[in-house]
Amino acid sequence: MFDHRKYQKQYYLPPVMTYDWVKKDSIEQAPIWCSVDLRDGNQALAAPMDLSEKLKMFELLVEIGFKEIEVAFPAASDTEFQFLRTIIENHMIPEDVTIQVITQAREHIIRRTFEALEGVPKAIVHLYNSTSEAQRRQVFQKSKEEIKQLAIDGAIWVQKYAQKTKGDFYFQYSPESFPGTEVEYALEICNEVLEVWQPTPDHKVIINIPTTVENAMPHIFAGQIEYIHKHLQYRDSVVLSIHPHNDRGCGVSDAEFGVMAGADRVEGTLFGNGERTGNVDLITVAMNLYSHGVDPKLKLGNMPKICETYEQLTKMKVHERQPYSGALVFTAFSGSHQDAIAKGMKYREAAQSEFWDVPYLPIDPADVGRNYETEVIRINSQSGKGGIGYVLQHHYGIKLPYSMNEEMGYLVKEESDHKHKELSSQEIYQVFERSYLEFRPVLNVADFRFTREEEITADVTVEYQGKQQQISGRGKGRLDSVSNALKHELGLEFVLEDYEEHSLGKDSSAKAIAYVGIKHQDNYYWGAGTDEDIIRASVFALTVAINRMIEHKGRAIR
């Protein structure tokens, strides 16, 4: 039964809510990033990665530029344990990368964790225990003091086994299920753990605040983080970290507001993989910074490769609308969007603008390895003339006159609607080709030659209504003389209204294209022609325009 009355707010406000973070209008520098793909993301897969897949994922994360990577829960399974031993014994951890492992606050698990870490160059040991009111009451049936003692004992055991194990160790503590924990109580536990570990500015401890189940609005989470930021002991010796989940769909907001509220570090995954609705998508958070002119300190310039590798290893899909990385996020099907993008791109090229401000594109798609030619403007029945004109110009060098572009737009949308699918650039060109270049069902000009006296005379060989005949006409120009021959000798009525031409290439041997528009009564008809000779191209264009007029008149009569 769908009944909202069974629910109530399950989060706690700090004793004092401050809003200093609200006064900031941006994030000035990237936080420390920690990928948890190999642990939190991996445990959420229906089929967790095997050893070889985990190694490939580790290589990908290093390539992207993560300097802190949570690689395993070593006590959880043999695969986790062996993966950690593999990268340590084979010296696969770069000098500038610190691996992280996670452990519950239980001595035998902590002991097993350090067995897996023996000989590691440098590692973060991430200790956690659940602190929420619901778990204290329902799962553990323990008091606040008993739960706090679990954390303290865990911190002591971590310190004890670190001293016995070869390696350079840093410690991290998380009050798991923080959103359901009284904020001042979570702070009290964190400070007790810090008292055990006694961090210094030269050897800091990480206090990590997870939104294990996101249940508060982002501004509430920011207020909680700001309170902890202001009241943590040893603050100059603590890296304040956050680990947002996405149960309310606000993981990115939690991360950004949390950093503004004092967090120094963000844990998350590629594309938001993780339990239930997943962790915060670090790519989105990093690219949001990038779009504001802040260096994200991650290498995200080949997004298609990152997506492909991720999908191969996790068997998960990157959604088409995933910010920055989805296949359709830079694609415009809407006519008005296409028109604005096409004009914005032309403006940017002409103005040689230093900054990116193309309408509807928050960043330059090329920055993340996306392709203008095939991805930015795509055509279906919802598209407009601007996008269709952009595709023809970008792929084929065809610059349609304005009203011809509008007419072409209707033809393409009709084709897409009929086929119930998106049209490729080749299919769009085929519509143009059959409608404006090759459409000669009734009239065809087979040959022509010109003589000049006071006016130009055109002698034209035509095929009209199945018969070939010779006609002639005079005019002030060559196209005008052919037009007059067709009108006077074949009894055709039209006015030559528009003529445009341009080259289809940059070298001297490139073909030219001509566009001719004629008018009959209140109707307008366009044709196009291509040839090395611009006069021949113009005559071909005129012929198509007349055929379109004849066809339209025939349909009207029928």
Domain boundaries, the chain: 4-314, 335-426, 443-557
b (16+ CB within 10 A) / e for 315-354: ebebeeebbbbbbebbbbbebebbbbbbebbeeeeeeeee
pLDDT at 372: 65
What pLDDT, in 10s, does the model give residues 6-63?
999 999 999 999 999 999 999 999 999 999 999 999 999 999 999 999 999 999 999 9
Residue 386 has pLDDT above 80, yes or no: no
Q: Classify domain 443-557 at the CATH class level.
A: alpha beta
How far apart (Å, rounded) are the C-alpha atoms in residues 512 and 449?
19
Name the one residue in this structure whose structure tokens are 């994200």.
Answer: 296
pLDDT at 483: 93
Quickly list DSSP for 352-365: T-SS---TT-SS-G
pLDDT at 406: 87
Interval 299-327 mean pLDDT: 96
pLDDT at 454: 77
Residue 502 neighbours by CB distance under 10 Å: 12
What pLDDT, in 10s, does the model give residues 430-468?
999 999 999 999 999 989 999 887 789 999 999 998 899
Q: Tell me the backbone φ, ψ of residue 73, rounded to 5 degrees.
A: -110, 85
pLDDT at 388: 81
Q: What is the pTM of this model?
A: 0.82
Residue 553 has pLDDT above 90, yes or no: no
Quickly list DSSP for 459-476: EEEEEETTEEEEEEEEES
Lowest mean pLDDT among 386-390, 438-442, 512-516: 386-390
Q: Tell me the backbone φ, ψ of residue 59, rounded to 5 degrees.
A: -60, -40
Residue 373 has pLDDT above 80, yes or no: no
What pLDDT, in 10s, does the model give residues 518-544?
999 889 999 999 999 999 999 999 999
Q: Which of the pair, 295 or 390, is modelled with greater confidence?
A: 295
Interval 473-485 mean pLDDT: 92
Tokens found for residue 554: 């025939």
Q: Are 175 and 181 in contact (CB under 8 A)?
A: yes
Q: What long-range pairs does 504-510 form, CB within 8 A, spacing at least 24?
A: 504/396, 504/397, 504/398, 504/530, 505/397
pLDDT at 378: 66
Interval 203-215 mean pLDDT: 97
pLDDT confidence of 377, banded at 50, 70, 90? low
pLDDT confidence of 390, banded at 50, 70, 90? confident
Q: Are 137 and 144 in contact (CB under 8 A)?
A: no
As a whole-number percent, the residues of the chain with pLDDT over 70 amount to 96
The Cα-based distances of 61 to 72, 79, 141 in angstroms read 14, 19, 40
Planar angle of CA 244, 245, 246, nearest 5 degrees: 120
pLDDT at 543: 95
Quickly list DSSP for 420-474: TSPBPHHHHHHHHIIIIIS--SSEEEEEEEEEESSSEEEEEEEEETTEEEEEEEE
pLDDT at 557: 47
CATH 3.20.20.70 fits 4-314, yes or no: yes
Interval 149-170 mean pLDDT: 97
pLDDT at 213: 95
How far apart (Å, rounded) are the C-alpha atoms in residues 151 and 130?
9
pLDDT at 558: 40
Lowest mean pLDDT among 91-105, 241-255, 336-350, 372-386: 372-386
What pLDDT, in 10s, does the model give residues 56-83?
999 999 999 999 999 999 999 999 999 9
Interval 156-165 mean pLDDT: 98
How far apart (Å, rounded) are the C-alpha atoms in residues 135 and 312?
37
Name the one residue in this structure whose structure tokens are 């260096």.
Answer: 295
Interval 361-365 mean pLDDT: 93
One-letter amino acid for residue 541 of the chain: A
